[in-house]
Amino acid sequence: MEATQTEGTPARRFVPVPFTDVVIADRFWAPRMRVNRERTIAYQYAQCKETGRIDAFRLNWKPGDEPVPHIFWDSDVAKWIEAASYTLATDPSAEVEALLDEVVALVAAAGQPDGYLNTHYTVVEPEKRWSNLRDCHELYCAGHLMEAAVAHFQATGKRTLLDALCRYADYIGTVFGTGPGQKRGYCGHEEIELALVKLYRATGERRYLELSRYFLDERGRQPHYFDQEARERGEDPGAYYFQKYDYCQVHLPVREQSEVVGHAVRAMYLYSAMADLAGELGDAALLAASERLWENLTTTRLYLTAGIGPSRHNEGFTRSYDLPNETAYAETCAAIGLVFWSHRLLQLDCDGRYADVLERALYNGVLSGVSLDGDRFFYENPLASLGGHHRQAWFGCACCPPNVARLLASLGEYVYAQSEHDAVVHLYIAGQGRLRLGGQTVTLTQETNYPWEGRVALTLQLEQPARFGLRLRVPGWCREARLRVNGEEVSLAGKVEKGYVRVEREWRNGDRVELDLPMPIERVYAHPEVRQDAGLVALQRGPVVYCLEEVDNGPALHRFALPREATLQAQFRPELLGGVTVLTGEAEYLVDEGWAGTLYQTRRPAAETRPITAVPYCVWDNRQPGQMQVWLRESC
């Protein structure tokens, strides 16, 4: 299972346990996955059908027809295929299979004789094929179609879409490269790079891995390809509306980059591919760059919710410590991309830092992107709202809804990993995982009420005794973990390495491991350079970030101040928002007394004590509309 690499180079040491070998049966994720499977998938199919996205693959559009197939529509359908394929793999459904067969046949049939497959540039602007890689998403759409093809093949064994996308990838390999007559281009919106790695792993065809490496190696080279193609279009390269090429991460060769910049989703997809290729190719320079970038992001540009990208202007990054709350962009797709990137780094080095961020994103910045009933979605995820920000049924740019759907449908892939000698538990979710260790199947059964409680019990089922290591993650938010094996206390002193405790022994059928992760309510403070959060405090319990909503606390949430010594309680409410743990206590509330007819005074405003209730950020805006706030003033 462990990759063979030259000493001193990175290797993909761990392999995720496929989601098809994981059963999720908890009170938190299982209901959301059921809604995703039973409601969201059908709803998103209907939206893609009604808006013309699916029928665009019929290639019967003519000038004057409405709607006009858009340059990124193919990617929305591709992500839907991927999500539906994942659900079909774990929960067979004749209805879903029929829908998939219909859409897959339509997409595959849209392939051209040379292998090209893009609805917009086949029927709307065929003369402009590959003429604007910077802005027009051709390779981005190709990448999402490749991911869909791999997912559909792995779920069903059917090669219809996989064969069509292999032909497309082969054609792309003839167009782009360093050979005579080839274009030295790459996509302005990264995605194909990571997709080609998936295609390589599914087919074993190394040319796809090499094409991915080409696209990464070419980025940032001088002179810029984007300048060249702009001139060929008769445009002034200096008129590019974002001016700087850091918007799409081509300001420097990828191995020289050290600061997370530009469009957040593009960056996450690029960095994910860098981590993939670092492991597959043993490229130490790629890994070093990826680690530098991850450190830069997580120490200077990450919201408490693991949202990323504060600016609407570029859908991305601005500068270090610039983390506004009410105007936070924090696109859902960007948080999903952070999950992808962190998970890939986790396979190279079982380091709990990556798992901590992955978990924070899943429970907060990603899950907030979809309503509890599965048919309303956030594109932007602010950390404060005056009451006007709500989930929408769909978007003209609908990248986020199917992105959430495909992540939820494949969630099991993020729970466990394995190497030749170790079983690894990254996330604590009740259910089962089937691993292959020592030539036999090892089943891990988790019992837990995580994230509401921190007690986890794992039972091992083996055909015969076997010696291997069991790595259990000790989350960064937990400082007093306790471990027992078959009822016997195991000291963790000196045994937690990079956020994981490793227990190696001869395991026998029925062995039981108990991990206790105390989950106190904690106050969180931002770095002093985060000016928007100076003097403010946020609440967190375990991996869950909390917020105040107007429906629980009344209007004018900005008037609340949480006393430094105030006591807070955690209480599980099964009837609320699908069953959540809320935090309750008392806070100071500024009142209007003595302010009639005046705007400013020299005396301090009067305050009274009022009860407060905080709910998990991921479920806000699921009840009546109103204000929301994550960060609160703190009083003495």
* Catalytic residue flag (residue 315): yes
> Is 532 found in the same domain as 489?
no
Strands (DSSP E) along 310-430, which ranges?
Answer: 384-385, 416-418, 422-425
Residue 484 lies in a domain: yes
Cα gap 614→608, rounded to integer Å: 19
Element (H, E) at 593: none
- Say whether both 98 and 235 belong to one domain: yes
Instruction: Tell whether 528 and 492 lie within a shared domain.
Output: no
Mean pLDDT computed over 448-471: 97
Residue 315 token pair? 């859908």
**pLDDT tens digits along 557-605:** 999 999 999 999 999 999 999 999 999 999 999 999 999 999 999 999 9
Instruction: Dump pLDDT digits (tens) for 228-276.
Output: 999 999 998 877 655 579 999 999 999 999 999 999 999 999 999 999 9
Query: Mean of the per-residue pLDDT values for the chain?
Result: 95
- Look up residue 334 and give its two tokens: 């960007």
Answer yes or no: is 586 within a domain: yes
pLDDT reported for residue 243 = 55
Helix (H, G, I), strand (E, B) or coil at 196: helix
For residue 139, give the H/E element and its range: helix 138-156
**pLDDT tens-place string over residues 367-377:** 999 999 999 99
pLDDT at 355 over 90: yes
- pLDDT one-digit tens code per residue, 174-201: 999 999 999 999 999 999 999 999 999 9
Q: Which of 181, 215, 241 is the last residue of a domain?
A: 241
Question: 424 in a domain, yes or no?
Answer: yes
State whether 613 and 558 are in the same domain.
yes
Q: What predicted TM-score, i.e. pTM, was given to this entire model?
A: 0.96
Whether residues 492 and 534 share a domain: the answer is: no
Report whether pLDDT(537) > 80.
Answer: yes
Same domain, 490 and 563: no
Has residue 31 been placed in a domain?
Answer: no
Distance separating alpha carbons of residues 35 and 25, to the nearest angstrom:
14
Under 8 Å between Cβ of 553 and 532: no
380 in any annotated domain: no
Cα-only R_g, the chain: 25
| pLDDT at 31 > cutoff 90 | yes
Boundaries of domain holding 68 = 51-241
pLDDT confidence band for 5 (50 / 70 / 90):
very low
Residue 376 lies in a domain: no
518 to 22, 445, 450, 456: CA distances (angstroms): 26, 21, 11, 11
Same domain, 579 and 430: no
One of 136, 141, 399, 618 is an active-site residue; which one? 399
- For residue 448, the domain's CATH number is 2.60.40.1180
Q: b/e map of 512-550 (b: 16 or more CB within 10 Å)?
A: ebbbbbebebeebebeeebebbeebbbbbbbbbbbbbbb
End position of a domain, from candidates 516, 545, 568: 516
Shared domain check, 543 and 483: no
State the catalytic residue, choosing from 315, 331, 359, 514.
315
Measured distance CA(297)–CA(246) in Å, rounded: 15
- The verdict on 452 and 479 lying in the same domain is yes
- Cα–Cα distances (Å) from 181 to 174, 176, 184, 206, 217, in that order, read 9, 9, 9, 22, 19
- In this structure, the answer to whether residues 511 and 538 fall within a common structural domain is no
Q: Is residue 182 part of a domain?
A: yes
599 and 500 share one domain: no
Per the structure, the count of domains in the chain is 3
Known catalytic residue at 399: yes
* pLDDT higher than 80, residue 616: yes
**Claim to verify: residue 437 and residue 465 sit in the same structural domain:** yes
Q: Which of 241, 275, 300 is the last residue of a domain?
A: 241
Classify residue 453: in a domain, yes or no: yes
